[in-house]
Structure 1
């Protein structure tokens, strides 16, 4: 009887995703959002909102702007009324992932009022524009809908391919054009699909002890 070959375990090793300005992948989908960041402090309004789907680059852009503006950063769900003055102490703030109902509406209303009084800059990121948000506090709903919104769109083919290459590079995976072309013609063209695909390829390559090749991609995504 043949001996059973033990299954290799795959461990999720930490990896660093570069969020520098030089590593931001520009395309038609995000050109307007990048132009907004680059135009600071000459914004049409001191409070601006970036809206776009998960993984579309909102946090990357917010990180770039925070470095430029000396801004602090807070998650929308962790904001409290008591923390508002400290959050605005530098005169610039990023509020990440505004996703109702997962935040304190009164705290955010207080923040927007104080930011206006202090002439502070605020950059908010959200998956939906304020008009599509379900906000109970009427005054906050009105205030949010007055904020100018810049929307990030789904990636075009060129940007999608570049995302696949970047996510592989972030994980130190070496891939050639045949892998990228195979995936680009079979996957949903979204930021999330690109990221999750590379995560799966990385995990399977590690588990099987194989390089990331077109053959491996075909095994995983043949029916995609």
Structure 2
């Protein structure tokens, strides 16, 4: 029987899958010598930006900055997630004040077009910061992500199920997450495990 327990995503380093396509990202996160004050981590939804930020948080002793925070300690390492929640004035002040300190800042941005739409003073400052782009997932990473998501949802999906799904979804983080999330919902509703036969029926009715 499948029960609707509360579930949580694991954001430990062990649960961030790496291979030759994205290993440079985790190497950068872990190596203080590569940092030059600030880094912009760019990636689409569900690509692991916050997961990577949590890994860096544990390594560096950093913290996630609240948009409403007015008393910022720039000597600490700072993570800025969902940059669109911050006003342009706030972003400019952070960029200016952090340049006078020894702390590092990790900016998490979904799309670089966000920077292009900012005022020139902010845009020019962002343009000189190191950019790290999370690459699109290959098959190996897609399979690993699905395995992790099913585990996070409390479901045991065998390899034949993962292979079945990977042939029917686009190679994108968002598509993978949406597919597994919908399968999880149907498993809860019907109290079924994610077998190939059951997942096939879900694709026929709701994923097409």
TM-score (structure 1 length as normaliser): 0.84
Deviates more, 1:194-203 or 1:54-63: 194-203
SS at match of 2:45: coil
Higher helix share: 2
Q: Tell me, what secondary structure is at the counterpart of 1:54?
A: coil
**1:69 and 2:60 are equivalent in the alignment:** yes
Query: 2:117 matched to which residue of 1?
Result: 134
Contact 1:131 1:145 in 2 (8 A): no
The answer to whether structure 1 residue 116 and structure 2 residue 99 are counterparts is: yes
- The alpha carbon displacement at 1:44 in A equals 4.3
**What is aligned with 1:93?**
78
Q: Deviations over 1:47-84 (max 9, x none)?
A: 0010011111110000000111111102xxx525xx35
Q: What's the CA shift for 1:129?
A: 2.7
1:144 and 2:135 aligned: no
Task: Report the CA distance shift for 1:29/1:131 in structure 2 as closer, same or farther (over 3 A).
Answer: farther
Does residue 15 of the first structure (1) align with residue 3 of the second (2)? no
In the alignment of these two chains, the number of paired residues is: 205
Give 1:50's match in structure 2, choosing from 36, 41, 47: 41
Show structure 2 runs of 5+ residues with no match: none
CA distance in 2, matches of 1:216, 1:36: 41
What is aligned with 1:205? Answer: 187
Report Cα offsets for 1:74-118 as digits up to 9, x if no partner.
2xxx525xx3543x355110001223xx42111111111111111
Distance 1:62 1:44 in 2: 14
Structure 2 Cα separation of the partners of residues 164 and 44 of structure 1:
31
Q: Deviations over 1:115-166 (max 9, x none)?
A: 1111211000101236853102x21111111111000011000110111111
Residue 118 of structure 1 aligns to a residue whose secondary structure is coil
Distance in 2 (CA, whole Å) between partners of 1:134 and 1:185 is: 37
SS of equivalent residue, structure 2 residue 51:
helix
User: Are the equivalent residues in 1 in contact too, given 2:8–2:153 (CA < 8 A)?
Assistant: yes
Taking structure 1 as reference, are residues 106 and 114 closer, same or farther at Cα in structure 2, changes over 3 Å only? same
CA deviation after TM superposition for structure 1 residue 13, in Å: 4.3
How many angstroms apart in 2 are the aligned matches of 1:12 and 1:199?
A: 13
Structure 1 CA distance for aligned equivalents of residues 40 and 108 of structure 2 = 6
Is 1:184 aligned with 2:166?
yes
Q: Gaps (5+ residues) in structure 1? A: 1-9
